[in-house]
Structure 1
Amino acid sequence: MLQQLPGLSGRLSEPNQSEEGKDLLCSCVQDVIKVKQMSQEEKEQLVKFLSLLIQPVVMNEGDVGEGFLLPQQVVCAFVLPNIAVRSMDLDLSLQLLHSALCLDLPDGASHWVMLCSPFPLLFVLVQIYNHTLRCEDSADQRKLPLCSPETQELLVTVVSALGKVVGAQVAADPDTWSRALFWLYDRTEELDWTVRFLLKPVWGEHFKNEVPASLFTVCDLPEQEWSGLDLPQYGPGTGLVAWTECCYINESLQRTMLSHLSLDQSKADHVSMFSKGLMVALTQTLPCCSPPQWSLLLKALRALITSARLHVPFSLEYCDFLPLLDLRSFACELRLSVLLLRVLQLLCGSSCDHWMSRDDWGHVGALYALAVRDMIGSLKTKLPASEDKGSEGEKENAPSQEVLFVLGQIYCHVQHVQVMLPGGQCEQLFLCSLELLSHYAAVMSAFPLSCSAVESDNTRHFFTTITENLHNKEMKSVLQQKISQLVSSEA
């Protein structure tokens, strides 16, 4: 129906069409947005509506024609005027831009986004991203609220998608876009150094990778491709801080950091010093991570542990007796759990606990909970699924006792962190504790031989004692009730 009303889209070809008659539909929607406080549901409906209008239309002959609105119309009407001044919901602007960028284009066609001031748009987007970096504490940074993790993830996705499109256009016609490219590069100098790596698809091979000069003390990077920045916040001894920050920017950069790490594994003192230094560096990096960044950094930590470059001694502080189990295939989970416990012990110590606000501690707790869930997910892969109809021999050979031991250790570490965190208990860690106990019970049920009646009784007593240290009475009560249900099928 709308296709029969081309005047609404502002795409009439008559030469006498006035400016006021153009983009009538967009103008009407803009007016509604200005005067109406939209609910979340209405925003979602608006995004779906405009996304449908820019979808290509299949003609009668099977040819694909343009949508009712051109994507550049939507971007110019709803994104460009609003995103710089944040006069409209940031999520709404990003979702509209993302929908437009996801449209398929005919091969060889010049991209419509080059009609939408792509370089200023990229700069505004990375400015917003720069504001989301949690560790910034200047007055300018405090003017804007931090984005939610979901918004930050969408922002990075949009910048990456837009960067790839613009980078391809620059590579195809560098003479036309070189001045704009250098303008964008110069403007990003005022932002955090990590921001330029988000725009790597735009730069291509035009510029070297710029990183804090201290990174070169821990990483062998070729001078032809990398150059150092003298940044006041990265003085002597901050090389591993810069290294960990590089590891959470993207997977490609993480692979580079892992492959170029300067570490002589044949020298025990080098490995020991590196391991201690990395633990200290994590105390500075962890609070600044978004959830996606933290997930990437966890991947790097796992790689370091499995390659024996990161040495994390595992002590039996939460074990009454030496377990006669084969824990070699669980070494990564155990060491990662201990490493995070040690990092949080440093963060919660008297020398560091004044660094962060209550909200920041909640953020740290949520990131730790994310790591715990990652470890739980890894442990689930070690056992056959309960619905699998394996033979009794397969069930007997499954490392169910080992999984129970590791789950128990992680549970104790989580309770230790719960007690340490300033400002009270973290709800995310409480939910993780319930998840650990639920999985513990599920393994006991699926593998009856994994735990005898005596062992389950000892486990309940031990877990109850550990949980008794929690300050929150409601959390403590719920967890202890869950612990009381850990009864062996032999009992």
Structure 2
Amino acid sequence: AALLEPDEVLKEFVLPFLILDVEEVDLSLKIFIQTLEANACLEEYWLQTCSPFPLIFSLCQLLDCFSKYWQLPKEKRCLSLDGKDLVIHILELLCETVLANAKTFSPDTWIKSLSWLHRKLEQLDWTVGLRLKNFFEGHFKCEVPATLFEICKLSEDEWTSQAHPGYGPGTGLLAWMECCYISSSISERMLSLLVVDVGNPEEVRLFSKGFLVALVQVMPWCSPQEWQYLYQLTRRLLEKQLLHVPYSLEYIQFVPLLNLKPFAQELQLSVLFLRAFQFLCSQSCRNWLPMEGWSHVVKLLCGSLTNLLESVRLIQSVGPWAQGQEQDLTQETLFFYTQVFCHVLHIMAMLHQEVCEPLYVLALEILTCYETLSKTNPSVSSLLQKVNEQRFLKSIAENISPEERRQTLLQKISNF
């Protein structure tokens, strides 16, 4: 028999520690998830004995702290933004379990409990309440900033506008993006409700500018999973041609006579990330984040760029051209590698050296990808191109500091 019943475990080792500035918060969350998962198959609904609604609210309070994460002093941040994903996962699991056992409550108790929770959530950031959309369905509407109605076709049967401080005119896109990082299902829903006329170039241009601004505002506070939702959303917007990301010639020596269409999305995403970091590192934003915040956004960026590299490898290796049905895409892939390498080094040059290690490692990986692929194409024209690109990449790497990183990059380029 267990030394402690699951409800006792939660009361003793979890509930008192669900606070961002308590050192044990990480451990308590791990105990929480293990307790929920280990006892998921119990016939008896044990959660009711430990007041599930206050438990849900405690998790919501913890999530609310993340909305002002980087404004908090370091000693008040005992859980990383990676830990936010665990909090969200536990909240979802807890809500699912409680909903599945709703019949164990009397109808009156259930309604009163829902109403109590809904009232309590009014104290918190509005996005926290939106995470409980399914939980409140049929009882309460989703409360969102009024500006969201300006850019979305929201049904008043399901959504209601609230005046939220900080969401004045022109913040509809910010609110929309904050909805999109909550889950893939809400992201898809928001995308379907978005009002942008693809046939109106000016509207698409303005949306694209606003999207970049909103992305920069949201990114530093995203957990890895939330950022992944936004990454997928950005791809969907590019597919639908709702998002316009012009590809500049800043890192192109000569106009390449290549078929870049298969890599259009990857190139646009790489440029978009560069633009986002140019914005983040600008005079108006550079003081937003402490050093750990910069490390966090670099980590998110590296994850996305790694996804791009994997995507490009996949396109190059399994497309119809790989079976000889169309032109080989080796040159196009090499072009992509040179571009993303330049973008990474550009971002490194704007950041504090102490947060650049992951980007430096990624830059070396990109050079390895380039070197490996270029060896498969030994033609005279490709050799000439390799020499030209080698010279070009060296000129870019010359701007990197400190000396050790610069020399390592230059040495690797010389070995092509």
Q: Could you tell me the TM-score, scaled by structure 2's length?
A: 0.91
Question: In the alignment, is residue 461 of structure 1 matched against residue 412 of structure 2?
Answer: no
The whole-number CA distance in structure 2 between the counterparts of 1:450 and 1:335 is 30
Specify the SS of the correspondent of 1:227. Answer: strand
Corresponding letter in the other structure for 1:123:
F
Equivalent in the alignment of 2:83:
151
CA contact (8 A) 1:411 1:433 kept: yes
Q: Mark the structure with the bigger radius of gyration.
A: 1
The whole-number CA distance in structure 1 between the counterparts of 2:355 and 2:16 is 43
**Per the alignment, do residues 78 and 372 of structure 1 end up closer, same or farther by CA in structure 2, a change over 3 Å counting?**
same
Instruction: Name the count of aligned residue pairs.
Output: 414
CA contact (8 A) 1:134 1:146 kept: no
| 1:126-275 superposed matches below 5 A | 126-134=60-68, 137=71, 144-145=76-77, 147-170=79-102, 173=105, 174-275=107-208
The whole-number CA distance in structure 1 between the counterparts of 2:380 and 2:164 is 55
Deviates more, 1:223-232 or 1:76-85: 76-85
Deviation at 1:272, TM superposition (A): 1.0
CA contact (8 A) 2:152 2:190 kept: yes
% identical equivalent positions:
39
Equivalent in the alignment of 2:351:
421
What root-mean-square deviation, in Å, do the aligned CA atoms of Structure 1 and Structure 2 show? 2.6
Question: In the alignment, is residue 333 of structure 1 matched against residue 270 of structure 2?
Answer: no
Query: Which residue, 351, 366, 386 being the options, matches 2:299?
Result: 366
Deviation at 1:104, TM superposition (A): 6.3
**Per the alignment, do residues 79 and 358 of structure 1 end up closer, same or farther by CA in structure 2, a change over 3 Å counting?**
closer
The whole-number CA distance in structure 2 between the counterparts of 1:348 and 1:171 is 53
Question: In the alignment, is residue 352 of structure 1 matched against residue 274 of structure 2?
Answer: no
Corresponding letter in the other structure for 1:95:
K
CA contact (8 A) 1:401 1:450 kept: no
Deviation at 1:480, TM superposition (A): 1.6
Question: In the alignment, is residue 444 of structure 1 matched against residue 374 of structure 2?
Answer: yes
Equivalent in the alignment of 2:51:
117
Specify the SS of the correspondent of 2:257. Answer: coil
Gapped regions of structure 1 (runs ≥ 5)? 4-8, 10-24, 27-69, 487-491
**Per the alignment, do residues 84 and 472 of structure 1 end up closer, same or farther by CA in structure 2, a change over 3 Å counting?**
closer
Deviation track 1:335-355 (CA, whole Å, cap 9, x = no partner) reads 111112122212222222233
CA contact (8 A) 2:153 2:195 kept: yes
Deviation at 1:302, TM superposition (A): 0.8
The whole-number CA distance in structure 2 between the counterparts of 1:479 and 1:88 is 40
CA contact (8 A) 1:425 1:472 kept: no
Deviation at 1:136, TM superposition (A): 6.3
Equivalent in the alignment of 1:302:
235
Corresponding letter in the other structure for 2:169:
P
The whole-number CA distance in structure 2 between the counterparts of 1:165 and 1:252 is 19
Deviation track 1:176-208 (CA, whole Å, cap 9, x = no partner) reads 322122111111111111111222342232111
Higher relative contact order (CA 8 A, sep 6+): 2
Deviation track 1:311-341 (CA, whole Å, cap 9, x = no partner) reads 1111222111111111111110111111121
Deviation track 1:350-372 (CA, whole Å, cap 9, x = no partner) reads 22223333332222222222221
Deviation track 1:200-226 (CA, whole Å, cap 9, x = no partner) reads 342232111111111111111111101
Deviation at 1:91, TM superposition (A): 2.3
Deviation at 1:450, TM superposition (A): 11
Specify the SS of the correspondent of 1:452. Answer: helix
Corresponding letter in the other structure for 1:116:
C
Deviates more, 1:110-119 or 1:268-277: 110-119
Task: Choose between structure 1 and 2: higher helix proportion.
Answer: 2
**Per the alignment, do residues 394 and 271 of structure 1 end up closer, same or farther by CA in structure 2, a change over 3 Å counting?**
same
Gapped regions of structure 2 (runs ≥ 5)? none
